[in-house]
């Protein structure tokens, strides 16, 4: 354990800005001074030079981000959130009517809304993938569904509402073997658990959670682009005219556009450029701190938190106690609620999350308390929360 605590200490030194009671890395984590400085420095540069003249070369940021999943810089598109990234990816995917899309009941609320809407409008059929009693996808069951015919599989690596780490590498290998594209939502997993080796066609992520970048930035990493994958709407930054536009319109003739190569088709040219720079800085810091040591440190923190909190005041941890994630969720005892416990925690200067059922409407039956300690969280903070729950 000492080596892992050591990694936490290294990280903590870099992150001495994290407020003591902050236990909401899964909601909105705390950017380091270096990240904030990079954001502010770019805003100043935009003011001094003019925004267009200040446009940065983000290739190093794209490379660092893509490396977290084993992809390359041309596979990265920056958007404004994970939700926007998922909407761009699925909204532009030309799946014919009758296509079968696999998803799990643990899926994120906005993604389910999107899937239901796209299914209704485009004639896609939604196929629920089997999970076990802990809501973990059952690879054998997924294999059987793939054999029965699927055209796309969408999985959240870790849900917003539940600390179970889905067997993404196994599902990815099964999809690859079946020739079925696999979309992995890494909003809660990148910067938290190992994502390399999952072999997804596309990854959907967000900056402000475990990567501790600024708010307002999300991203797609698309190593498995196919001709059926396009942006939902063509844009001048992401598409080219198939032929040079004519100065004189020819009646009856329409101009076609084609997507530019790579993930750039999904990216808006206008955006929070300073935020993209901040995310790039946060990802570089993550590489410097050592991804595998941090993953191990966070898994330890999560297990420790579950051990300390399970049973406190009758609260029960919802996922298996030994789950290797630092996203811990608790169900209330009779007579208490997640909202009231979060308010008591706030009175004790502890920041925890409340996850409403809408976040995972097919899985959550009541709101849960979410405890997600950032790297370097002192044990005393977890003890303080256990005392609040026991009250
Ligand atoms: C937060 C989250 C999202 C959405 O990301 P935003 O940046 O908030 O739009 C999607 N999926 C999961 C699992 C999440 O936790």
Is residue 170 within 8 A of residue 139, CB to CB? The reply is yes
DSSP string covering 132-147: -TTS-B-HHHHHHHHH
- The pLDDT value given to residue 340: 98
> The tokens of 103 are what?
């998803």
> Is the minimum distance from the CB of 218 to ligand 1 under 6 angstroms?
yes
Q: How big is the chain by its Cα radius of gyration, in Å?
A: 22
The minimum-distance atom of ligand 1 relative to the CA of 188 is 15
Ligand 1 centroid, distance to 81 Cα (angstroms): 8
What share of the chain has pLDDT > 90, as a percent? 90
Q: Which residues have a Cβ under 8 Å from the Cβ of 212 and sit 6 or more positions away? A: 15, 25, 29, 30, 31, 32, 35, 191, 282, 285, 286, 374
Confidence of residue 245 (pLDDT cuts 50, 70, 90): low
Mean pLDDT of 342-361: 98
Q: According to the model, what pLDDT value does residue 328 have?
A: 99
Which has the higher per-residue pLDDT, 334 or 246? 334
Domains in the chain: boundaries? 2-29+290-390, 33-288
Distance 18 CA to ligand 1 centre (A): 22
Ligand 1 contact via 29 beta carbon (within 6 Å):
no
> Does 185 contact ligand 1 (Cβ within 6 A)?
yes
Dihedral sign for Cα 69, 74, 80, 85, please: negative
Q: Which of 10-19, 94-103, 332-341, 379-388 has the lowest mean pLDDT?
A: 10-19
Q: Find the mean pLDDT for residues 199-203.
A: 98
Averaged pLDDT of the chain: 94
| pLDDT tier at 253, thresholds 50, 70, 90 | low
292-311 residues labelled b (16+ CB within 10 A) or e (exposed): ebbbbbbbbbbbbbbebbee
166 within ligand 1 shell (Cβ under 6 A) = no
Residue 46 to residue 54: CA distance in whole angstroms? 5
Pairing relationship of beta strands 257-259 and 316-317 according to DSSP bridges: unpaired
pLDDT at residue 17, rounded to an integer: 74
Write down the CATH number for the domain with range 33-288. 3.40.640.10
Q: Tell me the fold of 2-29+290-390.
A: 3.90.1150
138-185: per-residue pLDDT in tens? 999 999 999 999 999 999 999 999 999 999 999 999 999 999 999 999
pLDDT score of 3: 43
**From its phi and psi, is residue 43 left (phi > 0), alpha (psi between -120 and 50) or beta?**
alpha
pLDDT at res. 14: 59
Q: What is d(CA 284, CA 88) in angstroms, rounded to the nearest whole number? A: 26
Q: What's the pLDDT at 18? A: 78
CA of 109 to the centre of ligand 1 (A): 9
As a whole number, mean pLDDT of residues 191-204 equals 98
Is the pLDDT at 252 greater than 70? The verdict is no
| Interval 282-309 mean pLDDT | 97
Dist. CA 384–CA 100, nearest whole Å: 48
């Amino acid at each position: 354990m000492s080596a892992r605590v050591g990694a936490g200490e290294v990280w903590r030194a870099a992150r001495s800005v994290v407020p003591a009671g902050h236990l909401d890395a899964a909601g909105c984590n705390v950017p380091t001074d270096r990240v904030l400085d990079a954001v502010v420095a770019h805003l100043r540069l935009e003011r001094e030079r003019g925004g267009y003249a200040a446009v940065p070369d983000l290739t190093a940021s794209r490379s660092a981000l893509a490396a977290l999943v084993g992809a390359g810089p041309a596979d990265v598109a920056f958007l404004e959130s994970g939700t926007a990234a998922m909407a761009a990816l699925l909204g532009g995917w030309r799946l014919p009517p009758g296509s079968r899309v696999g998803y799990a009941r643990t899926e994120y609320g906005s993604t389910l809304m999107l899937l239901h809407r796209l299914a209704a409008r485009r004639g896609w059929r939604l196929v629920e993938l089997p999970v076990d009693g802990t809501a973990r996808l059952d690879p054998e069951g997924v294999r059987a569904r793939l054999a029965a015919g699927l055209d796309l599989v969408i999985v959240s690596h870790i849900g917003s509402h539940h600390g179970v780490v889905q067997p993404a590498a196994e599902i990815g290998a099964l999809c690859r073997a079946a020739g079925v594209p696999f979309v992995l939502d890494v909003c809660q997993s990148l910067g938290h658990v190992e994502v390399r080796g999952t072999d997804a066609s596309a990854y959907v992520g967000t900056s402000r959670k475990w990567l501790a970048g600024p708010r307002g930035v999300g991203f797609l990493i698309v190593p498995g682009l196919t001709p059926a994958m396009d942006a939902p709407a063509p844009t001048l930054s992401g598409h080219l005219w198939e032929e040079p536009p004519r100065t004189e319109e020819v009646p009856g003739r329409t101009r076609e556009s084609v997507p530019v190569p790579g993930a750039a088709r999904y990216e808006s040219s206008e955006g929070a450029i300073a935020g993209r720079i901040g995310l790039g800085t946060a990802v570089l810091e993550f590489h410097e701190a050592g991804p595998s040591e941090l993953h191990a440190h966070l898994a330890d923190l999560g297990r420790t938190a579950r051990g300390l909190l399970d049973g406190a005041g009758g609260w029960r941890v919802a996922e298996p106690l030994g789950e290797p994630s630092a996203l811990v969720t608790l169900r209330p005892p009779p007579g208490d609620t997640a909202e009231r416990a979060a308010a008591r925690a706030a009175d004790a200067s502890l920041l925890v999350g409340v996850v409403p059922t809408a976040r995972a409407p097919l899985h959550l039956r009541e709101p849960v308390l979410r405890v997600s300690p950032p790297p370097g969280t002192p044990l005393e903070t977890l003890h303080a929360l256990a005392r609040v729950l026991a009250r």
